[in-house]
Structure 1
Amino acid sequence: MGKTRDLVKKIRDTKGTFHAKMGSIKDRNGMDLKEAEDTKKRWQEYTEELYKKDLQNPDNHDGVITQLEPDFLECEVKWALESITMKKASEGDGIPVELFQILKDDAVKVLHSICQQIWKIQQWPQDWKRSVFIPIPEKGNAEECSNYHTVALISYTGKVMLKILQARLQQYVNRELPDVQAGFRKGRGTRDQIANIRWIMEKAREFQKNIYFCFIDYAKAFDCVDHNKLWKILKEIGISDHLTCLLRNLYAGQEATVRTGHGTTDWFQIGKGVRQGCILSPGLFNFYAEYIMRNAGLEETQAGIKVAGRNINNLRYADD
């Protein structure tokens, strides 16, 4: 055990800790913050507000599900472990993925036992529900907190279970999401939808037809997902109660801290949103967005354009 602990320390020391480049920021009144503690407090204030739960929407937990999905095998754990990218930063439990690759089959057996226990009782270790947020600047004024993505660093051991869960959810992604959804889909992307829009415009010009586009950009899309609405949507889509319960309990009691250039903030509760940096988040957000589009009333208004006998009234993509 002592040798293993020394090995973990050596690997961690070699890898170091990931820090995103970050300049000075302003407070909510637009004043420049110069002191380290003021900067940390501003980040905590901003993220707590961003992820604060809507008090008007109570929890709807249903307890433990007894009708379970089929158990997963050790080979699935091995596949999940091998598929984790070594170049990505980790946090949470502080155990680097290189350790598991050194321990090989022994690590697979231990992780299989842990993940099977979670699978059966649908409760997650608190370390796996903790995230370290790294603010990554996007477009706009880098002095405003709202112009940053908050990417979540999560534990590698937790990612193994998440990878297995993602694989179980994939059948629902393939079945429920339409071809017009190119965001976070394998083999599809923004360029496909740009090409489709260009083709539609060319055909409209060729046949002298009027065509109108409405571009909708979800602001802070991942951050605004309401958890209880998400669980209801998953139920309507037909995702099993067992998988939904696992997801719901993963999100219940989540905590996060923000790593700034001046250290980390205090831990705070996460009441809404899906984690940027978690492999489950793109699929969960797509289910959420799919529900919105199904209830947008596009079919009733007969909006869209006929292509090969099929009506196309929306094209979706992700630009993050």
Structure 2
Amino acid sequence: MPQLHARQWGYRAGPHCKVLSLWAPSDGRSAGVAILIHTKSRFIDPEPIFQEYWTDRFMALTGKLEGEEVIIFNCYAPNDKSEQDMYFTQLQEIPVPEDVKLFVGGDFNCTLNERCDRSYQPLSGTHDSPALRGLMHHWRLIDSVANHLPGIHYENARWKFYDDYHRFQNHVDGVGLASSRLDRWYTNDESRLWVMATALEPAPIPTADHSGVLLHIQSPENANAESPNAAEAARCWDEFKAQLIVKMLLSKTTARRKLTNTYRQKIRRLEKQRLRALASARHEAEDRMGAEAHDTLKKVDIALAECRRERSRQRQRRLFRDHTWTPGKTTKKFFSRISCKFSDNVVPSLRPPEGCPVRGIHEKSETFADAWAPIQQGAIPSSELYHKCLTGCQHNRGTPTADNNFITEEAVSAASKECKADQSCGPDRLGNDWYIDFAEMLIPVLTRLYTLWYKTGAFPASFVEANIFCLKKTGDSSNPLNYCPLALLNTDYKIITRMISTKVEPTLATRIHPNQNGFVPGRQIHDTIDLYTVAKRMASTIPELRHAIAVFLDFAKAYDSLFREFMCAVLIKHGYPPHFVKVIAALHTGSRIRFLVNGQTSRTVDVVRGIRQGCPLAPDLFILTLEPLYQMVETSSSIRGVQLRSATDAHELKVGGFADDTASYLQDASYMSALLHITTRFGQASGLIINESKTIIISLNDRANSTLPPLPVGFHYQPASETASLLSNTNG
């Protein structure tokens, strides 16, 4: 055989020649295994290993592949069940090093997944092998096609799996031709990432009843390795999540069905006993039997009452345990018990938007979709308009963002830890808890996927999906637009955007106006409140500022109406790398939402405007996009602000704010027209339109309220007798 192998593959065999084949001893024609090495293989320095365990059904080889030590096992399991179990049990005695890359292949003559490994599943279940499962656990092995196993509810995928990976065919009486996956490859933890693909190899001999199985292995760090397809990886990731949630829900349902001793089940059983005893007591005519039936009914009533009391006591003990504070415990449970801010989010009634159909009482989610769709699907301005708006705006470019290397396992781990447990999940229904519980396994996988997706700018379709949960605002609760839409996003999306936000935040201080104190590291809302307080003091002490005013601008649906094209243009103006801007655009393009109201979901709404409240990156993007307005007001020669003076310095205050709460400070009302001209230009380009009815104008000098000059039509001064909550501070 070695000589035949040499002739077929074209190499010399004999003394002083390179070893390219190894053969285990055989017992007649019943068995025999060999390992053949191709002449062009990068597998070098092959040597036999564990020869004391070699038989006609097992052999092992060690060598180096791309500089890494590799061990290959060739197994040929017996057909007989008892011999097969003994065979796998004896293999556990081999002392395999823990840190070596191990590949185990061969004919195992059994299957472990009855639905995927066999097209015909007999009822006996004798084809399984607990001994092989024990061997896999001992060597930490996993099937090379584990990621391609179809779910139990995907019939078409299962038959495609049969065609792709089944190597053995046999005839079953009464069934016909059946196929099995007896020939397989297994890898351990160290070699798992080296598997590029597993493929079917046609049998070289026409009469052979088994086909070959090829395992393509290659170092993931090999520069010559074929670049993975980002779009395909994104599709597979979404498919994996969809299959996983089905299996999780099935497991949860199965576990619940196995419960037999819960309080609810006890009460249900006792109630059934009570109904039977009550029926018996009504139909018994004889005194003795009637008395017995009434006694039985009384006992059941006593047992039912005791079970309910015990359930109540257990619930009370749990409440005390959960809400009792101990050192090191957070106050989350305590405040969730007494806070009513988010306790009642039921929408009682809604008024349909103008021009929209009247929905049914259980279609409130569709009413929300009708109201918000025009805002999030509005017309997009021409590029000339927002480029014209940005002309003349000066931006301190600061330090550019880091390259793709910021996506590391440490960064992914830190971002995932920022995701709090017990939070609402996104459309994929895999919440933060799942990523926290399986972080050890998920972090290496997510790191590779995030790196690939960020590098190519191609992300999973699930990244642009969101469920919208609406929180009530003060005012008319029947108006669907008088709610704050919060996006419930998938955790894998939040992890990568949190990492991007971590890289963006250090660049904000040099790019954002010094009076914008929202979401900029080192700045606080108290700084904005202090500016307002100082401006009031200056207006009451400096004569020329006696008519000074503060204009608190209100942007109509700020986060949801922002033009994304304008946002990308602003990011380029700020000096962010083109690839970074491309990634931001990809994370928002084609986004789709569904509204969740009273437990019902709306139709899918395609969104072309706005950024999502709930996205870790949204606050950074918003203040960067709002920065041109600050620059336009600050540099305008048509606006005079409030002079802030000290003994040694003076500064003109024109604008300040915290996130979308923006205040403009004017020397008097005559500069309102210039301010409105700027906000109109900015609104047409950015989509951030000023809501005149909610814009509040306050006189900074309380003693000048009676002599204030008139305001443009549509605006009015805030009366001194009224108060308004601005910047988390009560003013009036």
Same-fold call, TM cutoff 0.5: yes
Mapped to 1, the partners of 2:526 and 2:556 lie a distance apart of 21
1:36 correspondence with 2:361: yes
Shift in Å, 1:88 = 3.0
In structure 2, the partner of 1:97 is: 432
Contact 2:415–2:499 under 8 Å retained in 1: yes
Mapped to 1, the partners of 2:588 and 2:356 lie a distance apart of 35
Mapped to 2, the partners of 1:31 and 1:49 lie a distance apart of 11
Q: Which amino acid aligns with 2:504?
A: L
Q: Which amino acid aligns with 1:294?
A: Q
1:47 correspondence with 2:372: yes
In structure 2, the partner of 1:62 is: none
In structure 1, the partner of 2:458 is: 123
Contact 2:245–2:430 under 8 Å retained in 1: no
Work out which of the residue numbers 502, 505, 512 in structure 2 matches 1:170: 505
1:69 correspondence with 2:406: no
> TM-score, normalization: structure 1?
0.85
Contact 2:425–2:489 under 8 Å retained in 1: yes
In structure 1, the partner of 2:597 is: 260
Q: Which amino acid aligns with 1:163?
A: R
1:291 correspondence with 2:625: no
Shift in Å, 1:184 = 2.9
Per mean C-alpha deviation after superposition, the further-off stretch among 242-251 and 302-311 is 302-311
Mapped to 1, the partners of 2:557 and 2:375 lie a distance apart of 9
Mapped to 2, the partners of 1:257 and 1:57 lie a distance apart of 28
Q: Which amino acid aligns with 1:289?
A: L
Question: Number of residues paired by the alignment?
Answer: 307
Could you report, residue by residue, the CA deviation over 1:255-304 in whole angstroms, capped at 9, with x for unpaired residues?
00001115101111111011111111111110111112212464423522
Per mean C-alpha deviation after superposition, the further-off stretch among 306-315 and 45-54 is 306-315
In structure 2, the partner of 1:161 is: 496
- Report SS of the residue matched to 2:532: helix
- Report SS of the residue matched to 1:145: coil
Q: Which amino acid aligns with 2:403?
A: E
Shift in Å, 1:189 = 4.4
Contact 1:8–1:99 under 8 Å retained in 2: no
Mapped to 1, the partners of 2:553 and 2:519 lie a distance apart of 17
Mapped to 2, the partners of 1:286 and 1:55 lie a distance apart of 20
1:202 correspondence with 2:526: no
Contact 2:467–2:593 under 8 Å retained in 1: yes
Q: Which amino acid aligns with 2:361?
A: A
Shift in Å, 1:149 = 1.0
Q: Which amino acid aligns with 2:552?
A: F
Contact 2:511–2:574 under 8 Å retained in 1: yes
Contact 1:152–1:277 under 8 Å retained in 2: yes
- Report SS of the residue matched to 1:251: coil
Mapped to 2, the partners of 1:187 and 1:169 lie a distance apart of 14
Structure 2 counterparts to residues 14-25 of structure 1, below 5 A: 20-25=345-350
Mapped to 2, the partners of 1:31 and 1:171 lie a distance apart of 46
Shift in Å, 1:5 = 6.2
Contact 1:129–1:255 under 8 Å retained in 2: yes
CA spacing shift, 1:215–1:132, aligned 2, 3 Å: same
Mapped to 1, the partners of 2:493 and 2:639 lie a distance apart of 45
Mapped to 1, the partners of 2:367 and 2:431 lie a distance apart of 30
CA spacing shift, 1:153–1:35, aligned 2, 3 Å: same
In structure 1, the partner of 2:551 is: 214
In structure 2, the partner of 1:151 is: 486
- Report SS of the residue matched to 1:146: coil
In structure 2, the partner of 1:239 is: 576
Q: Which amino acid aligns with 2:564?
A: H
Contact 2:593–2:607 under 8 Å retained in 1: yes
In structure 2, the partner of 1:226 is: 563
Mapped to 2, the partners of 1:156 and 1:52 lie a distance apart of 26
Which protein is richer in strand relative to its size?
2
Shift in Å, 1:57 = 4.2
Contact 1:131–1:153 under 8 Å retained in 2: yes
RMSD of equivalent CA atoms: 3.0
In structure 1, the partner of 2:669 is: none
Mapped to 2, the partners of 1:254 and 1:5 lie a distance apart of 22
- Report SS of the residue matched to 1:175: coil
Mapped to 1, the partners of 2:379 and 2:458 lie a distance apart of 24
1:26 correspondence with 2:351: yes
Work out which of the residue numbers 586, 594, 608 in structure 2 matches 1:271: 608
Shift in Å, 1:204 = 2.9
Contact 2:633–2:639 under 8 Å retained in 1: no
Per mean C-alpha deviation after superposition, the further-off stretch among 126-135 and 310-319 is 310-319
Work out which of the residue numbers 290, 310, 316 in structure 1 matches 2:651: 310
Mapped to 1, the partners of 2:491 and 2:248 lie a distance apart of 13
Contact 1:25–1:145 under 8 Å retained in 2: yes
Q: Which amino acid aligns with 1:102?
A: D
Mapped to 1, the partners of 2:581 and 2:507 lie a distance apart of 12
Q: Which amino acid aligns with 1:245?
A: K
Mapped to 1, the partners of 2:468 and 2:552 lie a distance apart of 30
Work out which of the residue numbers 588, 592, 601 in structure 2 matches 1:251: 588
Per mean C-alpha deviation after superposition, the further-off stretch among 297-306 and 96-105 is 297-306
CA spacing shift, 1:19–1:242, aligned 2, 3 Å: farther
Q: Percent identity?
A: 16
Higher RCO structure (Cα 8 Å, ≥6 apart): 1
Mapped to 2, the partners of 1:263 and 1:133 lie a distance apart of 11
- Report SS of the residue matched to 1:95: coil
- Report SS of the residue matched to 1:181: coil
Shift in Å, 1:202 = 1.5
Shift in Å, 1:31 = 10
Mapped to 2, the partners of 1:11 and 1:297 lie a distance apart of 59
Contact 1:298–1:313 under 8 Å retained in 2: no
Mapped to 1, the partners of 2:447 and 2:571 lie a distance apart of 26
- Report SS of the residue matched to 2:514: coil
In structure 1, the partner of 2:413 is: 78
In structure 2, the partner of 1:63 is: none
Shift in Å, 1:19 = 9.1
> TM-score, normalization: structure 2?
0.39
Contact 2:505–2:521 under 8 Å retained in 1: no
Contact 2:471–2:485 under 8 Å retained in 1: yes
Mapped to 2, the partners of 1:122 and 1:247 lie a distance apart of 9
Mapped to 2, the partners of 1:116 and 1:74 lie a distance apart of 10
Mapped to 2, the partners of 1:153 and 1:56 lie a distance apart of 29
In structure 2, the partner of 1:135 is: 470
Shift in Å, 1:55 = 4.9
Contact 1:53–1:270 under 8 Å retained in 2: no
- Report SS of the residue matched to 1:77: helix
Contact 2:368–2:480 under 8 Å retained in 1: yes
